[in-house]
């Protein structure tokens, strides 16, 4: 009875503890001036948790309140089954802090790191859209731009280095170079800051941006890792011929093997019949000899 009473008290106390924890997270004092990016991973950081954002810059009056929007289908920091803030409708975006949906930003206005979807697309976005931008817009140096620079035109390059810790504790860096040239046809030459034509596969290269495939390995442009393997027609013909030849060879080999087994079996039967015939003849000769010997003895 005492054990049941203790369990009942714990069960009733659990929601209160959770509520108190949530209340503490949402009522924490903060300042939006402390919003920043982690120097290594470039992850957004603030005085609040991943589920909340700071209501203002004044520490005396600002507190952490629940986020009003999210940018991803499965946002980071929310437990399974927890209520999620809504996604923003078309024509708006959710900032990193999740303070509410905002209208898209025109070119020349500030944007957040690597948040191309915050920028308003150009009128010809369908011709400019690629995997290197979002609907023809790109955020470089925290400023919205249109990725429409063509061959020989001036361009802007944004180089970002991400740092992480490897499996053995060593520091691993990943440098990403982005520009406002029309991709994948052109790239921004960092030495001249003008758009140049991208290089075809098997061309000599120095960086991934120089290749149409965005994959430079050992100084040569190669196909990206996700490229499906293309089999040449002659390879298909050789493979088909090898398969047909293997089937024919198998059939011929089985035929000869069956024939040899039949011949061996025939020899065994013949030898058996010869042996039986010889044995029968030998028995008959013994019987005749014994009968003759009996007749001779009887006549004497």
Is 252 inside a domain boundary?
A: no
| Phi and psi torsions of 10, nearest 5° | -65, -40
Is 192 inside a domain boundary?
A: yes
Q: What is the largest CA-CA distance in the chain?
A: 152
pLDDT at 285 over 90: no
Is 140 inside a domain boundary?
A: no
**Mind listing the pLDDT tens digit for each residue in 102-132?**
999 999 999 999 999 999 999 999 999 999 9
Token readout for 295 is 């007749």
Is 175 inside a domain boundary?
A: yes
Token readout for 66 is 């629940």
In the block, residue with structure tokens 């507190």 = 63
The HSE-up count of residue 249 (CA atoms within 13 Å, CB side) is 6
Single pTM value for the model: 0.67
Is 206 inside a domain boundary?
A: yes
What is the span of the domain harbouring residue 197?
A: 149-226
Is 66 inside a domain boundary?
A: yes
Q: CA 289, 290, 295, 297: dihedral to nearest 10 degrees?
A: 110
Taken in order 185, 188, 191, 193, is the CA torsion positive or negative? Answer: positive
Is 196 inside a domain boundary?
A: yes
Q: Which of 104, 176, 172 is nearest to 140 (CA)?
A: 176
Is 235 inside a domain boundary?
A: no
If one counts the domains in the chain, the total is 2
Task: Name the domain boundary from 226, 261, 279.
Answer: 226
**Mind listing the pLDDT tens digit for each residue in 127-176?**
999 999 999 999 999 999 999 999 999 999 999 999 988 888 888 999 99
């Amino acid at each position: 009875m005492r054990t049941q009473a203790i369990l009942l008290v714990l069960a009733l106390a659990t929601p209160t503890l959770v509520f108190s924890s949530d209340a503490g997270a949402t009522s924490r004092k903060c300042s939006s001036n402390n919003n920043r990016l982690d120097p290594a991973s470039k992850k957004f950081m603030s005085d609040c948790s991943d589920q909340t954002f700071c209501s203002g810059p004044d520490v005396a009056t600002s507190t952490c309140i629940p986020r009003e929007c999210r940018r991803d289908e499965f946002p980071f920091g929310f437990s399974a089954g927890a209520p999620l803030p809504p996604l923003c409708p078309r024509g708006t975006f959710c900032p990193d802090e999740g303070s509410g949906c905002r209208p898209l930003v025109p070119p020349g206005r500030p944007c957040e790191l690597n948040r191309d979807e915050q920028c308003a697309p150009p009128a010809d976005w369908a011709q400019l859209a690629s995997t290197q931008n979002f609907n023809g817009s790109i955020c470089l140096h925290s400023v919205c731009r249109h990725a429409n620079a063509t061959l020989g035109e001036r361009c802007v390059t944004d180089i970002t280095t991400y740092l992480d810790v490897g499996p053995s504790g060593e520091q691993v860096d990943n440098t990403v170079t982005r520009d406002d040239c029309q991709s994948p046809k052109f790239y921004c030459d960092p030495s001249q800051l003008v758009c140049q034509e991208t290089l075809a596969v098997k061309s000599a290269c120095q960086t991934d941006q120089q290749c149409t495939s965005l994959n430079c390995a050992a100084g040569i442009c190669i196909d990206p890792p996700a490229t499906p393997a293309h089999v040449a027609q002659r390879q298909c013909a050789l493979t088909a011929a090898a398969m047909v030849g293997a089937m024919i060879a198998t059939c011929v080999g089985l035929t000869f093997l069956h024939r040899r087994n039949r011949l061996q079996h025939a020899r065994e039967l013949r030898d058996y019949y010869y042996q039986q015939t010889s044995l029968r003849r030998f028995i008959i000769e013994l019987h005749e000899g014994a009968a003759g010997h009996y007749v001779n003895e009887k006549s004497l």
